[in-house]
Amino acid sequence: MSVITKRLSRRVFLGGAGAAIGLPLLRSIVPARAAADTVACAPPKRFLAMFVPNGIVMRSWTPAATGREWALTPTLAPLAPVKDDLIVVSGLTHPGYRTQDIGHPAGVGSFLSCKVIREGETLANGISMDQVAAEQIGACTRIPSMQLGLNSGGSRTGTCAGDYACAYELNISWANASTPLGPLNNPSIVFDQLFAGFDPTATDAEQLRRRVLRKSVLDYALDDATSLSARLATSDRLKLDQYLTAVRDLELRIERSSSGPSCAIPERPGEPIDVPDHIDIFNELMVLAFQCDITRVITFMFDRALSGRAFPWLGIPDDGAHHRVSHHENIEANLVTLERIDNWYVSQLANLLVRLKETEDVDGSSLLHNTCVYYASDIEDGQSHLRHNMPVLLAGQLGGAFDTGRHIRYAPMTPKGNLFVSILNALGVGVTSFGDDGREPLGELG
């Protein structure tokens, strides 16, 4: 039940004008104005974090050679069509690696925050790097960031596995130390968030007339409000100034939409028929969200911590549930099963990356060229829970900031937080540190 799309020759403006012309929404976008003034909104740069649970079999993940001479490994083989758009990153260390057992929930909770997660019911995480990015580049889009996944998240109270707060195993995106941003898992709800209020049957000419009409209405409102300002009390003039700022911001959004990339209008998805279909729908929705510039920051969870998913479509029976078999005890049959699961997850990533590469962006390059996709897990190895050499893959050049087509092996114990400093800087978000361990950008990425 994949989403069916129809490409248009002119971009359909999804998200700002039609919904934002009412006063309440205009007011709500005023606080984003200051950030929007300091961020280059075109061409866009985007970030997508993809989480896969239970670690990776590193023998089939890590390329033998470094630099440009690396070869695709069995697990990474599905990425052949986008090999030149990848950076395989080895040697990065997860925060808290000195603790005896970080546990899956702590690895998920700190996946994007790089904070050491402690046991206990009290939440004490940190802001995740996607939200640091969204605070700035999110000002350029109707939705600052989106959190998606195959399972819903949330702030469920109490403790779960390993006496960690339950919220840690359900969420990778955090607004602050105690506020997880749970993923949406229903494609229909995500579709409505992206496209509700817009007419998918409108012709290009009708869409253009609507943009012109909105612009005319805004011009009239600005002229009328300016003439009124001189007759208002100081307090009311301040309120009016806020309104004019919001109107001007809306006008700029409309202008940006007129020269934006071609956008596709999907049919509203129904209930996924199975897990592969669920992922396929989400892949298309994420591409559309970037293509239509509805958001520039997305996180996606293939599953929660300690995922016990079975894979009948791979011929793996229920007793091969993912978390159980990830404690492989070095039994070869278990390792082979895990490698099949790892390869399948990478194939889903490959499907997304190919779509991003085949979709033209506003500057004539591909969506993938202007995006950084970060793909990783909560731990290195499911049996030992090691975190010394995390499986990390980057895809996309982020507008030319990253030199792809390479395998980079960093010195042992290089903090993963340094990678997030590099990504945030490349997104235009100037930081010098991040999390508990990020103190400088990584070298060699550019």
CA 394 to chain centre: 12
Q: In whole numbers, what is the pLDDT of the chain averaged over residues? A: 79
Calculate the alpha carbon distances from 102 to 109, 166, 190 in Å.
11, 15, 33
Angle between helices 332-358 and 275-291 (to 10 degrees): 30
Report the distance separating Cα 139 and Cα 36, nearest Å: 5
DSSP string, 27-61: HHTGGGHHHHHHS--SS--EEEEEEESS---GGGT
pLDDT value of residue 194: 85
Greatest mean pLDDT range, 97-106, 152-161, 366-375? 366-375
pLDDT tens for each residue of 106-123: 788 889 999 988 888 888
Least confident of 35-39, 54-58, 161-165, 281-285: 35-39
Q: Which of 248, 304, 291 is nearest to 52 (CA)?
A: 304
pLDDT value of residue 362: 85
pLDDT value of residue 261: 46
Cβ contacts of 272 within 8 Å, gap of 6 or more: 1, 187, 278, 281
* pLDDT greater than 80 at residue 350: yes
The percent of residues in the chain predicted with pLDDT above 90, rounded, is: 44
* pLDDT greater than 80 at residue 300: yes
Report the distance separating Cα 151 and Cα 133, nearest Å: 24
Report the distance separating Cα 415 and Cα 438, nearest Å: 6
66 close to 407: Cβ distance less than 8 angstroms: yes
pLDDT tens for each residue of 131-148: 999 999 998 898 999 999
pTM: 0.78
pLDDT value of residue 102: 61
* pLDDT greater than 90 at residue 159: no
pLDDT tier at 339, thresholds 50, 70, 90: very high
User: Please, what sign has the CA dihedral across residues 427, 408, 82, 2?
Assistant: negative
Report the distance separating Cα 326 and Cα 307, nearest Å: 10
Report the distance separating Cα 326 and Cα 426, nearest Å: 35
Greatest mean pLDDT range, 16-30, 71-85, 270-284, 378-392? 71-85
- Please name every residue paired with 147 in a beta bridge, in sequence order, or none if there are none: 299
Which H or E element spans position 299? strand 297-301
* Domains, the chain: 17-38+201-266 (no CATH), 43-195+270-426 (3.40.720.10)
Angle between helices 129-137 and 416-426 (to 10 degrees): 10
pLDDT tier at 240, thresholds 50, 70, 90: low
88 close to 336: Cβ distance less than 8 angstroms: no
Report the distance separating Cα 233 and Cα 297, nearest Å: 41
328 close to 334: Cβ distance less than 8 angstroms: yes
132 close to 429: Cβ distance less than 8 angstroms: yes
pLDDT value of residue 248: 57
* pLDDT greater than 80 at residue 44: yes
DSSP string, 165-229: BHHHHH-S-EEETTEE-PPB--HHHHHHHHHTT--TT--HHHHHHHHHHHHHHHHHHHHHHHHHH
pLDDT tens for each residue of 160-180: 777 888 888 889 999 999 999
pLDDT value of residue 35: 40
Report the distance separating Cα 259 and Cα 252, nearest Å: 12
DSSP string, 358-398: HSB-TTSSBTTTTEEEEEEES-S-TTT---SS--EEEES-T
Judge residue 276's burial from the number of C-beta atoms within 10 Å of its C-beta, 0-12 exposed, 13-18 middle, 19 or more buried.
middle
Cβ contacts of 213 within 8 Å, gap of 6 or more: none
* pLDDT greater than 50 at residue 189: yes
Report the distance separating Cα 368 and Cα 166, nearest Å: 34
